[in-house]
Amino acid sequence: MRRRRVLGRMAATAATLSLVAVLPAVTGAGTAQAHDGHDSHSSSYKSVGYFTQWGIYGRNYQVKNVQTSGTAAKLTHLNYAFANIGADGKCFEANAPGQGDAWADYQHPVDAAGSVDGTADTAEQPLAGNFNQLRELKAANPKLKVLISIGGWGWSTNFSDAALTPASRQALVASCLDIFIKGNLPLLDGKGGPGSAAGLFDGVDIDWEWPGSAANTGTVYRPQDKQDFTALAAEFRKQLDAYGRTTHKHYDLSAFLPAAPAKMDAGFEARKIFKYLDFGTVQGYDFHGPYESTTNQQSALRAPRDTPVANDFSDTQAIGDWLKRGAPARQLVLGLPFYGQGWTGVPDGGKAGLFQTSTGPAPATWGPGNEDYHALKALAQSGTYTVHRDTRNGFAWLYDGTNFWTYDDPQVLTAKTAFIRNAHLGGAMMWSLDGDTSNGELISAVHNGLASHH
């Protein structure tokens, strides 16, 4: 159920823009004051990690692992993925395959050994599951903010309809805030109820994939999504601020943003949306994958000159294209992958498998062609695979003579955090925390990299 954030193979016509050419317009521009006097130029970098609802099953990655790995102490924000929007245009909780998993969210009992604070859930408590564990995680890490992420690749189906009119936007936002921010979870089998999750979530992450562009099968999109996204962000900001005045708290609002220039232009008014968003996380991965027949990098810092793809995607391209469109650098948070993508049946081609043909996705644990970092690290140490690097362009890959895996390791992440600092960006986002090692090797590399020279 890992989200596939496919960029598509459309030409990124503006991707050749030099980042250097646009940076002077934003560096030294002074501190930006966002809505309500909230200082968007934070004194420290944001470190945003996605926790996947479904990771508690096969991967057995529990909220407790965020604590024991040392990850929680290195995050500023944890985004819980995902909440769904129903056909009626409202947020909801339910137990329905492919539609909702309230059992994971707040029903399933957690024993003492599996809990963050070492206390077993009781039958009487209204909040259990991941949500109660997140509450315990916040108690252990008072500075950590937890956001509810709405949508994702599979659950953006009804975003366009829900954002279509002022009335539908008002209803959508009110429903999401009622359930998650005010904590009025529906009472299901004795769990939830009015105020049961009050105080848990510190804001909302809009993960609409993608306004104005074709995305997952069945996901509705229309040209006016571009203006409707801005209006939706404004409605979220309005209602979050109104509720915040009653709780004396600022609630964060973020959004997940694409790397493809065509998707930027089809769905986002870059000069307007950051008036409402505290920050936006920019897709820094899935540039290529085994849904294509030719091997390539999935998350390079810079596109190599010998790439066979014209105007190829990269981190510097994605950030540069957002800056060119007027996005403030300090509100852009670069996405980093804690997983890799792989092909099989790949000849060497004199490039250790890079830019070569394939026969399909490489075999993997949870789904063909997609593997968590900790598993790829094991492959790298197996003696069967060789690690290859393009240090100039900031990417790595594994190759064993037939299988090719593109991924980020600590060395790559160190280069990317240096880029984040030098470009005066807002920080780093990680998809997703369950891909890391049990001792948080990747999050440590990100944390140490952002802390350098700060």
- Report yes or no on 418 lying in a domain: no
According to the model, what pLDDT value does residue 151 have? 98
- Please name the residues in contact with 75: beta carbons below 8 A apart, sequence gap of 6 or more: 47, 48, 49, 66, 141, 144, 443
The lowest-confidence range among 22-26, 172-176, 203-207, 266-270 is: 22-26
Secondary structure E strands in 223-363:
252-257, 279-282, 332-337, 339-344, 360-361
Taking a C-beta distance cutoff of 8 angstroms, is the pair 38, 278 a contact? yes
Q: Per-residue confidence at 4, pLDDT binned at 50, 70, 90? A: very low
- Report yes or no on 389 lying in a domain: no
Which helix (H) or strand (E) covers residue 431, if one does?
A: strand 427-431
- Report yes or no on 412 lying in a domain: no
Q: How many CA atoms within 13 Å lie on the side-chain side of 438?
A: 3
CATH number at residue 272: 3.20.20.80
Burial class (CB in 10 A: 0-12, 13-18, 19+), 405: buried
Active-site residue (options: 209, 269, 371, 441): 209
The reported pTM is 0.93
According to the model, what pLDDT value does residue 453 have? 59
Domain extent, residue 190, equals 44-282
According to the model, what pLDDT value does residue 14 have? 34
pLDDT at 205 over 70: yes
Question: What's the mean pLDDT in 202-217?
Answer: 98
pLDDT in tens, 103-142: 999 999 999 999 999 999 999 999 999 999 999 999 999 9
- Report yes or no on 307 lying in a domain: no
Taking a C-beta distance cutoff of 8 angstroms, is the pair 433, 338 a contact? yes
- Report yes or no on 243 lying in a domain: yes
- Report yes or no on 109 lying in a domain: yes
The tally of domains found in the chain comes to 1
**Which tokens in the block code for residue 405?**
């895996």
- The reply to whether 209 belongs to the active site is yes
Question: What's the mean pLDDT in 145-171?
Answer: 98
Integer angstrom CA distances of residue 167 from 93, 174, 198: 22, 11, 25
Question: What's the mean pLDDT in 26-49?
Answer: 51
- Report yes or no on 390 lying in a domain: no
The lowest-confidence range among 35-49, 118-132, 314-328 is: 35-49
pLDDT at 12 over 50: no
According to the model, what pLDDT value does residue 9 have? 31
- Report yes or no on 436 lying in a domain: no
The distance between the two most distant Cα atoms of the chain, rounded to a whole number of Å, is 64
Q: How far apart are CA 383 and CA 380, in angstroms?
A: 7
